[in-house]
């Protein structure tokens, strides 16, 4: 293996992005709304496209505003379909995000000459290419780091509201915390994080980063502060591990299984998702072993 400075920046970018995703993802997971991250990560696409069409430039602030609006719209429409359509929450979310995501893809394809957004990049990301920047460190690292800091600050400022609204919705409403607005705030943070992460890791890995580290941490501890800290550590660790196995192991394994010539390095985003799953399975096995032991 020949580890280069490019590999270092890929791993750093993935780790910071994963940590930024793990913050809102933890509260979505604890409130049993993990798949909302799936919906928001996909449904922000039409918001991004519309923002680009209005401004005619890839201005980060306009794209963020479009993404936040689309993320909040996802939550509003999901609750609308659930309440007035009398469908269960999963179905309501499925109707909302698939419709919005499909609308975004159609808009990208119809306006391909004007909207410089590649659908494959939205889905899979281009982590390896995002760090090819003239600056050192690459600009994507600064944007991801800024998003992580913003999420951590918001979590620290509104920690009490987040904790109460996550674990006891009715009690939070009785105390006047407006839990619905707290949920919309989480969706806004999720949408903002997703649009920042789109540049490097795509929507598929964003979902894995938001769900798997908190789920793994929950197998180990139930204390909220420890769970948050552990989710951040797991997000960063599996990102580095995932890139490492993608450039050393997965290509050779795929070649051996399918009996083709050596593939070499594989997509790092995919490798990170695989590493996250493997760590989750290890944590699950450890928990089961402890339960059997006692």
Task: Check whether 119 has a pLDDT greater than 60.
Answer: no
Q: How confident is the model at residue 284 (pLDDT cuts 50, 70, 90)?
A: very high
Greater model confidence, 201 or 154: 154
The residue extents of the domains of the chain are: 5-208
Q: Residue 165: what pLDDT?
A: 79
pLDDT of residue 231: 95
Percent of all residues in the chain with a pLDDT value above 70, rounded to a whole number: 78
Q: What is the pLDDT at residue 163?
A: 85
Mean pLDDT, all residues of the chain: 79
From 6, 39, 3, select the one nearest 131 (Cα to Cα). 6
Highest mean pLDDT among 86-90, 95-99, 124-128, 236-240: 236-240
* Residue 260 clears pLDDT 60, i.e. is over it: no
- CATH class (in words) of the domain with range 5-208: mainly alpha
- The tens digit of pLDDT for each residue in 17-53 reads 999 999 999 998 888 877 777 777 777 778 878 887 7
Task: Tell me what the mean pLDDT of segment 53-76 comes to.
Answer: 77
Q: What are phi and psi of 192, to 5 degrees?
A: -65, -45
pLDDT of 121 reads 53
Mean pLDDT confidence for 90-117 = 76
Please state which of the ranges 21-25, 80-84, 260-264 shows the lowest mean pLDDT. 260-264
Q: Please list, in sequence order, all residues whose beta carbon lies within 8 angstroms of the beta carbon of residue 148, skipping any fewer than 6 positions away.
A: 16, 19, 20, 23
* Average of per-residue pLDDT across 229-246: 91
Question: In angstroms, rounded to a whole number, what is the distance separating the alpha carbons of residues 165 and 148?
Answer: 22
pTM for this predicted structure:
0.80
Flag the least confident range among 32-36, 69-73, 100-104: 32-36
């Amino acid at each position: 293996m020949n580890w280069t400075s490019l590999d270092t920046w890929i791993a750093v970018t993935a780790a910071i992005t994963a940590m930024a995703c793990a913050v809102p993802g933890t509260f979505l997971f604890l409130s049993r709304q993990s798949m909302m991250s799936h919906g928001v990560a996909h449904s922000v696409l039409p918001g991004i496209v519309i923002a680009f069409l209005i401004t005619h430039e890839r201005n980060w602030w306009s794209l963020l505003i479009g993404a936040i609006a689309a993320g909040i719209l996802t939550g509003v429409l999901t609750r609308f379909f659930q309440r007035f359509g009398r469908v269960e929450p999963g179905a309501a979310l499925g109707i909302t995000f698939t419709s919005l995501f499909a609308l975004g893809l159609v808009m990208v394809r119809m306006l391909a000459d004007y909207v410089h957004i590649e659908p494959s990049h939205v889905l899979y990301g281009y982590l390896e290419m995002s760090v090819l920047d003239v600056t050192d460190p690459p600009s994507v690292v600064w944007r991801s780091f800024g998003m992580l800091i913003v999420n951590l600050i918001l979590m620290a400022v509104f920690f009490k509201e987040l904790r109460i609204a996550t674990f006891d919705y009715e009690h939070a409403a009785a105390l006047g915390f407006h839990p619905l607005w707290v949920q919309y705030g989480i969706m806004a943070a999720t949408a903002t994080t997703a649009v920042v992460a789109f540049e490097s890791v795509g929507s598929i890995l964003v979902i894995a980063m938001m769900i798997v580290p908190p789920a793994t941490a929950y197998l180990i501890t139930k204390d909220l502060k420890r769970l948050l800290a552990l989710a951040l550590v797991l997000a960063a660790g599996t990102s580095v591990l995932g890139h490492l196995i993608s450039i050393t192991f997965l290509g050779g394994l795929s070649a051996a299984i399918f009996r083709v010539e050596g593939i070499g390095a594989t997509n790092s985003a995919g490798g990170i998702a695989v590493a996250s799953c493997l760590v989750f399975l290890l944590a699950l096995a450890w928990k089961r072993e402890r339960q059997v032991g006692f």
